[in-house]
Amino acid sequence: MTQTRHLRHFKYTALPIYSTAFFYAFYYLISVWQFDVEIALTSMPLDFFVQLILAYMLFALSRRAWIFLILHALIMGVLYLGNPIKIAFFGGPLMPDDIFALRSLLLILSGWKFFALALPLVALVILAIFNLTLRTWRNYIGGVFTGLLTLTMLYQPNAIVYPIDTYIGTKEWDQRSNYVWQGATIHTLVETARYFLVADEPPDADKARQAAQVLAQHSHENTFEEFTPRNVHIVLLESFWDANNLVKVKFSKNPLSDNFRKLWKSADNSTAIVPVFAGMTANSEFEVLCGFPVTKNTVKFERQLLNDVPCLPRLLADKGYKTVVSHPNVPVFWNRVNAYHRVGFQTYWSEKDFVLDDINREFLGDSSLYRQVLEKISDTLTAKQPLLDYVVTYFGHWDYPLNENRPPVITSSSEVEEVTAYANTTFYKSSEFVDFVKELQKRDPHGIIVAFGDHLPFLGEHFAGYVESGILTNNRGNFSDAMFKTYVSTPLLIIDGEKGALKVGRLPLYEVPKLILNLLHLNQPTIMDFATPLDNRRIRPLVGLHFDEFNDGRINVCKEPPYSPECQQSLAWLKAVEIVSNDLFIGRQFTRP
């Protein structure tokens, strides 16, 4: 009887070993077979061991063994399936900032996709609360270790970061490789600790002003004519890109309409250098509205825009402009309600303000959006009050649905399903945009029109559509310098009233607001002066790296030390920009002009 009791007790206390082994193997096989993401065999023992320790901590705090098993399955599912899914779609694993993007993801999902994400999250929270208990010595031991881990994360994160960086290695610019060589559990722990270790903090007055003085060396004196109020219309074209860049794909028809191609050619095919790929539209918005580069893997609208800031809308509002923004999505997506107010928009027309009469699944078609925007701004145009009119299109989101008014007109030779669907979508987007420009120029011939693609489209898992044509590889860690250039390049149009389209070449989005102010001859110091680039290059920061694009077309990607002298120059500039940015957007604004 005693032996039977001991055996039963051993099996019970060994439950975390069994569950960790089973779920690790089960989820790993799905990760490999379904998403083609493999954790390195050499990293598995340590990753498994750390996961086992966490499993015992959860087990020690659990009221019921069966609830522990469900919780463990959900937690390991998030780690060992959630990471491969994100790698397949966006090229990198889950990061701490993704928690803040979760609300926006839930808002954009519908049908079974919404419930597939929401139900496990709800179950995880409810079961964790219901299962937590502190009645026995085992529970208290589990609580002590959980508390120690939490306090270490918060107050001594380097105790976790330093050993991993030293003995396993970390490449900030290549998080996929970090995941492969560290494993899901260790990667999650170390990046969560790093999140607290390198969290942005408002700089003090001396540090902020010193950085501002460094940047002032690169700013140019304004020598403009007298300020001339003209209407400014900015259009963000969702996922807009030239699919003709897929050089090995044959399309039955040009994915960009002939009218758009002609208009864009008059601008010498100008190009925006954007901060994101296949998502996080709000970061492109931040750059084009506020004139500062996004340098980290965070959505600036969500947590890094806490102050009222003299971005482009506020500057123009102070000059008597009416500032309006239109986006037919739920208003709180990417925290836009607060963000738009803080950058200076007076009016925000969101989903509830539009007649949803041209729906492509859940996305309002561009032609309807443009027509309704023109109706809304008509009185302002007639009254001759200067206007900043900012339009964020919704049609064009993955997986590129069309309605009966937009039948497919393009076929392609691509084996990637998204390529043909995207080609049809961008054909309609380009055509409807040109129609909008023609109508707008009739009503406002002197106005400035700016249009840009916010990011490249998602074209299959692991960049499949791009890999098919050899313009990207399936792993961001293996990108060549030229591939990084492709990775962030979208069409850009700037029409200077009756003068027509400007040939601005390749321009980072954060330089666009300053250019608009130049066209208006706004002769005063602004926060956009701080991000004036070095004389002979454009600088594009991305997550964990940046690249310099020189005036002669040369690309120099700066990934990690030892840096070249050119990389050291641009890195010093970026660090100064980050300090001033933190001061303006989350700090006490010591550097505000």
- DSSP for 447-478 reads -EEEEEE-SPPP-SGGGHHHHHTTSS-SSGGG
In-domain check, residue 48: yes
pLDDT at position 542: 93
Does residue 592 fall inside a structural domain? no
- Whether 435 maps to a domain, the answer reads yes
Task: Compute the half-sphere exposure of residue 191: CA atoms within 13 Å on the CB side of its CA.
Answer: 28
Alpha-carbon radius of gyration of the chain: 26
Residues 169 and 33 in one domain: yes
Domain presence at residue 244: yes
Residue 419 lies in a domain: yes
Q: Does residue 214 share a domain with residue 175?
A: no
**Of 53-62, 103-112, 203-212, the least confident:** 103-112
Here the contacts of 205-209 (C-beta below 8 Å, separation 24 or greater) are 205/588, 205/590, 207/579, 208/579, 208/580, 208/583, 208/587, 208/590, 208/591, 209/590, 209/591
* Same domain membership, residue 430 and residue 358: yes
User: Any idea what the CATH number is for the domain that residue 570 is in?
Assistant: 3.40.720.10
- Regarding whether 267 and 143 lie in a shared domain, the answer is no
Q: What is the pLDDT of residues 87-101, one digit of tens each?
A: 998 889 999 888 877
Whole-angstrom Cα distance, residue 516 to residue 450?
A: 9
pTM, entire model:
0.91
Q: Which residue has the higher pLDDT, 251 or 127?
A: 251
3-state SS of the chain: helix, strand, coil percent to 5? 55, 10, 35
What average pLDDT does range 199-216 have in this prediction? 91
Task: Check: CB of residue 493 under 8 Å from CB of residue 260.
Answer: no
Is 591 domain-assigned? no
- pLDDT, average across residues 24-35: 95
Domain-ending residue, one of 174, 197, 220: 197
Q: What does the pLDDT look like over 45-56, one tens digit per residue?
A: 999 999 999 999
Separation of alpha carbons 154 and 476, rounded Å? 31
Check residue 142 and give its pLDDT.
77
What is the spatial distance between Cα 32 and Cα 27, in angstroms, rounded to a whole number? 9
Q: Which domain holds residue 137?
A: 2-197
pLDDT higher than 90, residue 483: yes
Could you tell me if 365 and 236 lie in one domain?
A: yes
Tokens encoding 346? 């007076």
DSSP per position, 327-353: --S-TTGGGHHHHHHHHT-SEEE-GGG
State whether 175 and 210 are in the same domain. no
Asked whether the predicted pLDDT for residue 6 surpasses 50, the reply is: no
Contact by Cβ (8 Å): 445, 439: no
Same domain, residue pair 188 and 226: no
Cβ 39 vs Cβ 179: under 8 Å: yes
Count of domains observed in the chain: 2
Look at residue 453 and tell me whether its pLDDT is greater than 60: yes
| Domain annotation covers residue 590 | no
Of the residues 197, 222, 243, the one at which a domain ends = 197
| Residue 148 shares a structural domain with residue 103 | yes
Quick one: 184 and 306 in the same domain?
A: no
Give residues with Cβ within 8 angstroms of 551, minimum separation 6: 536, 537
Which two structure tokens, joined as six digits, stand for 221? Answer: 């004196």
Token look-up 């320790």 returns 53
Question: Residue 496, SS3?
Answer: strand
pLDDT of residue 7 exceeding 50: no
Picking from 97-111, 168-182, 222-236, which range would have the lowest pLDDT averaged per residue?
A: 97-111
Q: Give the end of a domain, one of 180, 197, 214.
A: 197
**Are 313 and 219 contained in the same domain?**
yes
Considering the domain architecture, whether residues 305 and 414 belong to the same structural domain is answered as yes
160 with 209, same domain: the answer is: no
Give the model's confidence band at 220: pLDDT under 50 very low, under 70 low, under 90 confident, else very high: low
Residue 57: inside a domain, yes or no? yes
